Amino acid sequence: MLMTETVLAAEGQSPILPDIPELILGLVAFLILLFILKKYVVPRFETAYEERAQKIEGGIEKAEKAQAEAEEALAEYKAQLAEARSEAAKIRDDARLEAEQIKAELRAEAESESQRIVAQGQAQLQAQKAQIIAELRADMGRNAVELASRIVGESLEDEVRRRGTVDRFLSELETATNGAGK
């Protein structure tokens, strides 16, 4: 190193300051490099930066749009769910009312059926009572005619006389029964 300083000192150059032609050549090379960078490299970086920024902004817009659509879909879903719940409640209420109506109809049918059965039973009882009364009258008539013929000693075989006698006896018997019952 000493030798280079000695050679430089002999030529009249300072070791700290560079040589002027080197400085000019370095400056020209730097300006050419700066021109190439500014002309070709920087626009590509800026284009890539813009594309990336647009992609990011587009992605953000898409995300916001998707979020808005999701919120809208959620609101619509909630509305449909509320509508479905109210419809289900209405269906339940309608089913309850229908069940009560069916129950009332069945109860009314059962009542009418029981009344019909009771009326039919009463009609059968009346018919049986009338039949029994008729049979008893006939038996009592025969017994009364037989008893009267034994008592009177004459034959009451004549049909018209026998009927008149039997009817008179039964009327007296009914009058006596009704008078004693009151």
Could you list the mean pLDDT of each consecutive 10-residue stretch along the chain, which spans 182 residues?
Answer: 51 75 93 95 93 90 90 93 93 93 93 91 88 79 73 63 73 75 56
Whether residue 155 lies inside any domain: the answer is yes
Whether residue 3 lies inside any domain: the answer is no
Rg over CA atoms, the chain? 66
Whole-number pLDDT of residue 108: 92
- The answer to whether 149 and 175 have CB atoms below 8 angstroms apart is no
Whether residue 1 lies inside any domain: the answer is no
- Range of 150's domain? 13-177
Residues in contact with 131: Cβ distance below 8 Å, sequence separation at least 6, in sequence order: none
Centre a 10 Å sphere on the Cβ of residue 145 and count the other Cβ atoms it contains: 20
Residues in contact with 9: Cβ distance below 8 Å, sequence separation at least 6, in sequence order: 15
Please give, one letter per residue, the 3-state secondary structure of 6-40. HHHHHHCCCCCCCCHHHHHHHHHHHHHHHHHHHHH
The total number of structural domains in the chain stands at 1
Whole-number pLDDT of residue 154: 59
Distance, CA of 18 to CA of 30 (rounded, Å): 16
Whether residue 6 lies inside any domain: the answer is no
Whether residue 182 lies inside any domain: the answer is no
pTM: 0.37
| Token pair in block for residue 53 | 């920024």
In this structure, is the dihedral angle defined by the CA atoms of residues 91, 97, 101 and 107, taken in order, positive or negative? positive
From 173, 5, 94, select the one nearest 165 (Cα to Cα): 173
Whole-number pLDDT of residue 2: 46
From 150, 144, 131, select the one nearest 171 (Cα to Cα): 144
